[in-house]
Amino acid sequence: MIVGGKDVGERPLILAPMEEVTNPPFREFCKRYGADWMYTEFVSADALVRSIDKTVRKLTIKDEERPVTIQIYGRFIDSMVEAAKIVEEVQPDFIDLNFGCPVKRVAGKGAGAGMLRDIPLMVEMARQIVQAVKIPVTAKTRLGWDCEHIIIDEVAERLQDVGIAALAIHGRTRSQMYTGEADWEPIARVKQNPRIHIPIIGNGDITSPEKAKEAFERYGVDGVMIGRATIGKPWIFKQIKHYLATGELLPELSVSEQIEVIKEQILQAIDWIDEVRGLLHMRRHMACMFKGLPHFRDLRIRMLQAPTVEALWTVFDEIRERYKDYRFK
């Protein structure tokens, strides 16, 4: 798959941009387990232009994680263009325009998926950013604002026409947020459009190797973007790659193996911020782990409430001992 002259591999598996999730430590783990292409957390153009420290830190990337995309969002063309120029100085492989974030504080102010209510503004913003930077510019969006306005066909053509190098499409509308099932038929329709020649990346409900295979084979997308299914399970990339190559499902990691992975993630998160905030940050990941363990409620509560690394390690030891013979189905 070629994006703006850069080869990102055949049938790439792509880590979706997620706020407070896709920071450098987490991206490192996803890369280790086979992710082909990384996205950072999405970055506020206004905050970046104002040099807000927390936002500027989101531009931290490493050569080991390439190809890597820095995604920006905003509702004003001038600040988005200026932010794109700032991002370009960090030398990511791509800059991505967030036209899909559905949360109220973003979309409600006209940014992210809010752009789906003003397509001329979206297209003009994309055009000016493409002209302002030398590295490839991609975009990520949704099917439309709501089910009465599925406009992805028009959006894809118009973004391509102003120079967008690849388009990632989440198979939901903004109004759906993350509810219901993603609809991949409109994504397939865009891909099959004879006017479309840029890569089309599918996103939404890729939670298993089987669903990733279906995305490639039934819907014909060039790449698959995986988001929430990676939380607490960065090894999903390895599982998908193995299945695509062999048709066989890898066994789930054992309880002990999952503990070793999450412990390393926790230590890196703490090193990235500090112990208190690192543990709070990792609770989201831990809450998604060990699904299916019987009689786990008491240990889950203690795990998620552990105030220190020492206390958490004690809980992990108890989990390891209680479920040492357990095998996930």
CB atoms within 10 A of CB 77: 16
Give me 102's structure tokens.
Answer: 């559905």
Residue by residue, DSSP assigns 131-196 as HH-SS-EEEEEESBSSTT-B-HHHHHHHHHHTT---EEEESS-TTTTT-S----HHHHHHHH-TT-
What is the rounded distance in angstroms from the CA atom of residue 69 to the CA atom of residue 39?
Answer: 5
β-bridge pairing 2-3 and 6-7 = antiparallel
What is the rounded distance in angstroms from the CA atom of residue 220 to the CA atom of residue 201?
Answer: 9
CB atoms within 10 A of CB 203: 26
What is the rounded distance in angstroms from the CA atom of residue 227 to the CA atom of residue 213?
Answer: 16
Active-site pick, 30, 101, 147, 288: 101
**Is 101 among the residues known to form the active site?**
yes
What type of residue sits at position 2?
Answer: I
DSSP SS3 for 68: strand
Give me 1's structure tokens.
Answer: 């798959």
Strand partners, 13: 224
Give me 129's structure tokens.
Answer: 């950013």
Cα dihedral value 37, 131, 73, 53, nearest 10: 90
* Active-site residue set: 101
